[in-house]
Structure 1
Amino acid sequence: MPADRTAAGPDGTGGYGESLFEPWKPGEGDRIDLGSLAYDHVTRARLRAVGVGPDTRCLDIGAGTGTVARWLAGQAGAGDVLAVDRDVRFLEPHAGGALRTLAADVTDPGFDPGRFDLIHARFVLMHLPDPQRTIARLRDLLVPGGHLVLGDAIDLTTAAPPDSPYRLAMRAMWRALRTSIGTDVDWTPGYPRLLRGAGLTGVAAEVHVPPLAAGSPIAAFWLDTWARSREAMLATGLVDAAQFAAAQEALASGTADDLSPGLITAWGRRP
C-alpha cells in the first residue's frame, strides 16, 4: 500500500499522517510535546557538542511545536534559526527575533532555503521514502564545516520474543505506520554508514532509550499515539482488542517490563 502523504484534513490542507493521527483534532500539539519532553535533553546535548552558539545559522527540519528551534534561537544569539514544517500552526506563535518559520516540504525538488552552519531533523527521515537522497540534499545545504545532526526512532525489541501484549502492540503500530504513511525504521541502525556515504566526516551515532515508567512523558506519548491509531493497529491482525487493552494497561501502570523504541542520533560534518 502506498504511503499516504497527501491526505487532506477538514480544511482541505494536506500533511503528514493526517489519515492516521488526524492532527487537526485537539491534543496533537500536546502529543508532540510529550515526545519533546522525553528526548529534547538528548538532542540539546548533542547540538551543544557539535558547537551551536552565537551567530550559528540553523535549520530545523520537521520542527513540530518548535521546542528545539526555540532553544536553538536562544543559543544562536544574533544568529538565524529557520524552523521548517509542513504544518507551522504550532510554530508561528513563537516566530520573531532569531526564529523564522517556513511552511515547506523537504522532499519538494524546489526546497532550497539557504545555506546553514547546522541542520537538524528529528523523527523526519523515517517517514520519507529515500533517506539517502534526503541526507544528500541536506548535506548540500550546509556550508563547508557545517554539521548535520539527524535523529529517528530505533526499534530494539519487537523483532524478538516474547510475544507480550506490549510487543504485539508495538509490532502492530510499526506495521500500521508503514502501510498507511510509509514509515520505516528498519534502516535507522545504518545511519552512520549513510552519513559516511554522503561524504560527511567525523561521523558517529548514539542511542537513548527513555524508561517506560508509569506517568512518564514517553509512556504518555505512546498511549496517545496508540489511541489515535488504534483502528489501524487492530487492522494489521498483529494484535487483537484484548491484547491491545492489556498493552495499554501495562504501559499506563509501568509494568510493560520492556524497552521503548529509542532515539538514534547520528551526526557528521561537511568537509
Structure 2
Amino acid sequence: MTGPSASGGHYGEDLFEPEHPEEAERIDAAALVYDPVTTGRLRALGSGAGGRCLEVGAGTGTVVRWLVEESGAAEVVALDRDTGALGALAGPRVRVVTADLTDESLDLGGFDLIHARFVLMHLPERRRLVSRLAGWLNPGGWLVLGDAVDMPDPLDTSSAYRRTMDAMWQALRSTIGTDTSGVPAYPHFLREEGLQNVGAELHCPPLVAGGPLARFWSETWNRMRPALKETGLVDAAGIDEAVAYLASPGLAELGPGMAMAWGQRL
C-alpha cells in the first residue's frame, strides 16, 4: 500500500505487515482471481502497449509482470511503500519506486496508463488522490481504478459469515481508515477531472469453498482476529465458524467484489 490512513494507521504496519511469512501468499490468492479481470479490462481499453505505465500499490508485481510481458509496455513504474517483493522485476523496462502516493513531493512524470487496485480505499483524501493521478496522465492516457465493494445479503444479519465480514470492515476502518463507501462514485470523479470515455463495471467473482478467494478471506480474518473481536460483533467461536464455512461444501455467498472505473485524458 502507499500511504497513511485517515485514522493514523498504516496498511502494512498496523495490519498486514509485508514481512509476515504468509502475506505474499495472501495477496497472490486474490491476484489469482482479480488479475484476469484487471488485465482483461486493460486489454479491452488498448492501454499500456508501447507506453509508459504506473502501477500504484504494486504488491507482489503480478500486474507489473503482465504489463511488461503481455501488454508490451515500454516502461512500467512500480510504486509501493514496501517494494521488497518487487526487486527481481527491476530492469530496463521496470522502475521500482519505494514511495508514498500521498507524498506531495513525489514527481514521477507523465503516463499513458495509471492503474491502482485496492489502494485508494485504504488512503485518506481519496478524492484528492484521484485528481493527482488524473493529473499525471499524458494525452490519450487511461486512468483505471479498482476497489472493493461489499454486497451483503439483507436477509442475513446474524450468520457467523456476515458478522465476521461486518467486523472486518469495521476493524479496517477504525485501524487503518479503510472506507469503500465512495467507490461507486469513482466514475463521477473521473468525469469531474475532465476525463472522457468514462466507464465502469462491477465484478463479483464466485466464492468457492477452498478456492483462492475463500483462502484470501480466511487468511485475512485469521490475521485480524484480535481486531475482529475488539469490534464486539463477533467472538472467537464465531470467527472459527466463519473460517470453517469458507472451506465447507455448504458455502453459498455473494462475496465482496471489485468495482472498476476508467477514463481517458484526450
The normalised TM-score by structure 1 is 0.92
Provide the rounded CA distance (Å) in 1 between the counterparts of 2:132 and 2:79.
15
Mark the CA change 1:158 to 1:124 in structure 2 (over 3 Å): closer, same or farther: farther
1:29 aligns with 2:34: no
- Pick from 104, 125, 128 the counterpart of residue 123 of structure 2: 128
2:130–2:190 Cα contact (<8 Å) kept: yes
SS across alignment from 2:70: helix
Query: How far did residue 54 of structure 1 move?
Result: 3.6
1:47 to 42, 53, 56: 42
| 2-structure distance, mates of 1:159, 1:103 | 42
CA distance in 2 between counterparts of 1:122 and 1:85 reads 12
C-alpha separation between the residues in 1 aligned to 2:233 and 2:141?
44
SS at match of 2:247: helix
Shift of 1:155: 1.0
Contact 1:56–1:76, Cα closer than 8 Å, also in 2? no
Range with bigger deviation, 166-175 or 246-255: 246-255
Partner in structure 2 of residue 207 of structure 1 = 202
1:198–1:133 Cα change, 3 Å: same
2 CA distance for matches of 1:28 and 1:17? 10
Q: Deviations over 1:170-190 (max 9, x none)?
A: 000000100000000111122
The structural deviation recorded for 1:76 is: 4.5
Check if 1:112 corresponds to 2:107. Answer: yes
SS in 1 for 2:200: strand
> Secondary structure of 1:205's partner?
strand
Change (3 A) 1:203 1:28: same
Q: How does 1:2-13 map to 2 (within 5 A)?
A: 2-5=7-10
State the AA in 2 paired with 1:79. Answer: A
Deviating more after overlay: 206-215 vs 179-188: 206-215
Q: Structure 1: any 5+ residue segments left out of the alignment?
A: 6-15
- Code of the aligned partner of 1:241: A
Counterpart of 1:90 in structure 2 is 85
Alpha-carbon shift at residue 97 of structure 1 (Å): 3.2
- Does 205-214 or 151-160 show the bigger shift? 151-160
Q: 1:222 to 1:118 in 2, by over 3 A?
A: same
Counterpart of 1:179 in structure 2 is 174
For 1:79 and 1:50, the matched residues in 2 are separated by: 17
SS at match of 1:97: coil
Matched with 1:12 is: none
Counterpart of 1:11?
none
Q: Secondary structure at the match of 1:134?
A: helix
| SS in structure 2 of the partner of residue 21 of structure 1 | coil
Identity of aligned residues (%): 53
Residues 52-71 of structure 1: matches in 2 within 5 Å? Answer: 52-71=47-66
Is contact 1:247–1:256 with CA below 8 Å preserved after alignment?
Answer: no
Q: Say which of 130, 137, 141 aligns to 2:132.
A: 137
Superposed CA deviations along residues 40-88 of structure 1, whole A, max 9, x for unmatched, are 0000001111113542110000000000011001235361111111000
Superposition pairs for residues 170-249 of structure 1, below 5 Å?
A: 170-249=165-244
**Conserved 8 A contact 2:149-2:257:** yes
- Compute the RMSD of aligned alpha carbons: 1.6
Partner amino acid, structure 2, of 1:153 = A
After the TM superposition, which of the residue ranges 21-30 and 220-229 deviates more from structure 2? 21-30
From 160, 164, 169, the counterpart of 2:159: 164
- Asked if 1 retains the 8 angstrom alpha-carbon contact of 2:111 and 2:137, the reply is yes
CA contact (8 A) 2:52 2:73 kept: no
Q: Does the 8 Å CA contact 2:196/2:264 hold for their aligned counterparts?
A: yes
Q: Which residue of 2 aligns with 1:13?
A: none
